[in-house]
Amino acid sequence: MRVTGFPKNDHSNGWYNILEEHPPAHVWEGEGAADWVVIGGGFAGLAAARRLGELRPGDRVVLLEAGRIGENASGRNSGFIIDLPHALSREQPEHDRRQIRINRQAIAWLGDLVERHQIRCQWSRRGKVHVAATSQGRRNLDVMQTRLDDLGEECERWDRGRLAAFLGTDCFVDGLFTPGSILMQPAALVTGLARAMPDNVEIYENSAVREYHNGISKTLVTSAGQLTAPRIILATNGWTSAFGFLRQKLLTVHTFASLTRPLDEAEQESLGGEGDWGTIPALLGGTTMRYTRDHRLLIRLDLRHRPDFTITERDLAKVRRRHVRTLARRFPMVPRVTFEHTWSGVMCMSRNSVPKCGALADGIWAAVCQNGVGAAKGTISGRAVA
């Protein structure tokens, strides 16, 4: 079967481009066999490959990635690893408790790997603040606080003054701080995870699977070779339908981020605040923001649905102008700070917000569709499917 669509990499991801090192890719070439092939090198694929490597130290595990690890959605996101779901339900507190437990397992696992392998990714236990600029946003925070109180989860309500002291900007009227989320540099984290794999895991990049033959043994064809394996795991996010599975079940949505240059010392002083923070909008569709440890501001805003995965220069320019306006409105105290990078990335959603983690056919499993919060959910899906 021909795989009907591949990720298009426009090399615009700021987080990846500012990494100090971009070692050359190992590309899959020639013919070979493996015990397991994982397709896709995002949070889900990396977790699946690692876990297989740990559980089956005698097996050969191969991960094939279409582009470069760190240039995918897993390296393009806003860098929150969340413990608490954004949407908490009143009817199903047990479901929320379970999801929180699972997210915390992902955080603990990743945190241990970051420490053990000394992955330099600005890993920070800084928590997150949900921020409101309108009365509707305020009401959303009221609901969230009530649900967190019911669950017995720690949170703090912050007024305008407390928010301004923390963030530097005084454009928010209300906030809800929750301490359990992690902030990080996503491209640094995923490239670091890829470099620290168990010895029996091999990673090949720029090695898109273009065709596959499904029998007792599967044959995967790339542009420079082919590979056979009895078992494969698809960790291919919104491209999974291109393999013939989950058709009409996955909705892909592009979202966009821009990253500034580092603020100089005078600008850091003008911005004020406590540094190293992340905010989540109280209103759906609002702006996510970060101020990183290396003093860059990030804005994540806007959504587009492009079934053919094509984001044009015009789309990007339009979104960037919106980001520039948002930056100027929120941070008028640093008027000379400009964006160095603007990029888009793909999120994969399902109607019931549940990921697909499990068997698709004989010898084929999936860990896909993380519904916009893949750092924790993708990690745990990949690990669970392995």
Ligand X SMILES: Cc1cc2nc3c(=O)[nH]c(=O)nc-3n(C[C@H](O)[C@H](O)[C@H](O)COP(=O)(O)OP(=O)(O)OC[C@H]3O[C@@H](n4cnc5c(N)ncnc54)[C@H](O)[C@@H]3O)c2cc1C
Stretch that binds ligand X, among 14-22, 69-77, 97-105, 264-272 (CB under 6 A): 69-77
Closer to ligand X by CB, 80 or 172: give it: 80
Residue 85 sits in the site that holds ligand X (CB under 6 A) = no
Among 77, 200, 226, 279, binds ligand X (CB under 6 A): 77
Backbone phi, then psi, for 171, in 5-degree steps?
-85, 0
Q: What angle do CA 6, 377, 259 make, to 5 degrees?
A: 65
Q: How far is CA 293 from CA 124, 125, 266, in A?
A: 9, 12, 16
**Which span (161-169, 266-274, 334-342, 365-373) binds ligand X, by CB under 6 A?**
365-373
# residues near ligand X by CB under 6 A: 41
- Minimum Å gap between C-beta 333 and ligand X is 25
72 binds ligand X (CB under 6 A): yes
**CB burial readout 252-289, b (16+ within 10 A) else e:** bbbbbbbbbbebeeebbebbeeeeebbbbbbeeebbbb
383 touches ligand X (CB under 6 A)? no
Does residue 241 interact with ligand X by CB under 6 A?
A: no
Does residue 258 bind ligand X (CB under 6 A)? Answer: no
Interacting stretch for ligand X, rule CB under 6 A, among 54-62, 301-309, 320-328, 372-380? 372-380
What is the C-alpha to C-alpha distance for residues 277 and 338, in angstroms, rounded to an integer?
19
Question: Under the criterion CB under 6 A, does residue 64 sit at the interface with ligand X?
Answer: yes
| Phi, psi dihedral angles at 15 (to 5 degrees) | -60, -40
- Please identify, using beta-carbon distances, which residue of 364 and 373 lies nearer to ligand X: 373
Q: Which two tokens stand for residue 368?
A: 């896909």
> Of 172-201, which residues contact ligand X (CB under 6 A)?
none
Q: Which residues of the chain form contacts with ligand X (CB under 6 A)?
A: 3, 6-7, 39-45, 64-67, 72-74, 76-80, 208-209, 235-237, 239, 255, 257, 300, 345, 347, 368, 370, 372-376, 378
